[in-house]
Amino acid sequence: MGRYLFGFILLLWGCQEKTPELQKHTGYALGTSYAIQYATDKDVYETVQYGLDSIFYGVNRSMSTYLPASDITKINRDNDSLLVVDEHFVRVFKTASDVWSKTDGYFDPTVGAWVNAYGFGPSKPLTSISDSLFKQLQNSTGWDKIRLTSKNTIQKAVPETYLDFNALAKGYTVDLVHHYLVQMGLKNHLVEIGGELVAAGINPISNRPWTIAIDDPLQTQSRKIIHVLSLKDEAIATSGNYRKFRVDSLTGEKYVHSINPKTGKPVKSKVLSASVKAPDCMTADAYATALMVMPFEKSKMLIEADVRLEAYWILAEGDALREAYSSGWEN
């Protein structure tokens, strides 16, 4: 997910009593920041931090494309078809396959090669691709060119196929941390990693559901909120690239470029961001990525047809923004 994560800020409303006390863990993991909060009257901080570090280590060892010794790097670099992947890899792979199928291929963890080839970046212009490179990428890209065997090894039809789970690994890690805190008996907590989050139970300060805010994409120097919602026992993820939107020199319209994995070609889209609520964060993360690429009307039909999901879109309408919601979002 040209994909960027957006700032969710926690609004702590209500009384300031600290019984039980709100503990906070913040840091940097998986290439992004994390913030984890929970309520407890027990001395468990060091134990929880040890557990968090263990979770981050395990996910990185399995799926980090930046670590030379990770499973996913060995599969990408060495085309290692004998490597038995771990349970983290298996769970993420199976969810990726499910979302790929349900989004008609608009969600595809092999699309990263296209994104890199087109030169997307904060200041890089869209570049052209030669016919030969286009055919090469077209031949090696596609979720249907890769499979998980019964022995939990990865088989690629084309050795050059590049696998990247960035679009759901952070959401999956949020789920792991959530389940870990539940096992620790910390039922009221908020887990956020790179903008993807799970809100469990209630905010112990306000004794109300956790309150989350989504930033206005057109804010300048000071933070401006465009949408606020309450979450209880739900996950939410946001995908988008509105911090890098372009302006048409003739019409003045704002748009973003997203790569259509079905064609390998960039498409203009007025969807600046998409947020998805789901029972788990890995699912929310994957669908939020897909909604950035799918045509808006098609994506709305997809969400409405799935009782597990709700979505919120921010679209560019000339110089203004338009908000769109699935039918159950406000609930």
**C-alpha dist (Å) from residue 152 to 75, 83, 143, 158:** 12, 8, 17, 18
- Does 34 score more than 90 pLDDT? yes
Average pLDDT of the chain is 86
Residues 202-251: tens digit of each pLDDT: 998 889 999 988 876 665 566 777 888 999 999 999 987 655 555 555 55
How far apart are alpha carbons 202 and 264 in whole angstroms?
Answer: 44
Identify the pLDDT of residue 275: 95
Q: Angle at Cα 241 formed by Cα 173 and Cα 232, nearest 5°?
A: 45
Task: List residues bridging with 312 in a β-sheet.
Answer: 275, 325
Best-predicted range by mean pLDDT (2-16, 129-143, 254-268): 129-143
DSSP 78-132: H--SS----HHHHHHHHHHHHHHHHTTTS--TTTHHHHHHHT-SSSPPP----HH
Q: How confident is the model at residue 325 (pLDDT cuts 50, 70, 90)?
A: very high
Residues 9-18: tens digit of each pLDDT: 444 444 444 4
pTM confidence score = 0.88
Residues 81-132: tens digit of each pLDDT: 999 999 999 999 999 999 999 999 999 999 978 877 777 654 455 667 888 9
Q: How confident is the model at residue 189 (pLDDT cuts 50, 70, 90)?
A: very high
Instruction: Tell me the one-letter amino acid at 213.
Output: A
Identify the pLDDT of residue 247: 58
Identify the pLDDT of residue 10: 46
Identify the pLDDT of residue 161: 92
Identify the pLDDT of residue 8: 46
Report the candidate in 112, 118, 124, 113 with the shortest Cα–Cα distance to residue 244.
124
DSSP SS3 for 263: coil
**C-alpha dist (Å) from residue 257 to 133, 135, 250:** 20, 21, 17
Identify the pLDDT of residue 3: 41
Residues 291-309: tens digit of each pLDDT: 999 999 999 999 999 999 9
- Does 178 score more than 90 pLDDT? yes
Q: Angle at Cα 25 formed by Cα 173 and Cα 215, nearest 5°?
A: 75
DSSP SS3 for 239: strand
Report the candidate in 270, 273, 274, 268 with the shortest Cα–Cα distance to residue 287.
274
Q: For residues 325 and 6, which has the higher predicted lDDT (pLDDT)?
A: 325
Under CATH, what is the fold of the domain 64-166? T-fold (1.10.3980)
Identify the pLDDT of residue 124: 58
**Longest Cα separation, the chain:** 65
CB 54 within 8 A of CB 130: no
DSSP SS3 for 146: strand
Provide φ and ψ at 97, rounded to 5°: -65, -40
Angle at which helix 87-102 crosses helix 281-293, to 10 degrees, equals 40
Identify the pLDDT of residue 13: 40
How far apart are alpha carbons 189 and 179 in whole angstroms?
Answer: 11
108 Cβ contact partners less than 8 Å away, ≥ 6 residues apart: 100, 141, 142, 143, 261, 262
How far apart are alpha carbons 58 and 37 in whole angstroms?
Answer: 21
Question: Which of 49-53, 89-93, 189-193, 321-325 is the least confident region?
Answer: 321-325
DSSP SS3 for 306: coil
Identify the pLDDT of residue 239: 87
**C-alpha dist (Å) from residue 217 to 223, 242, 243, 288:** 10, 6, 7, 16
Residue 287 is inside which H or E element, if any? helix 281-293
**Token pair for residue 266?**
């960039």
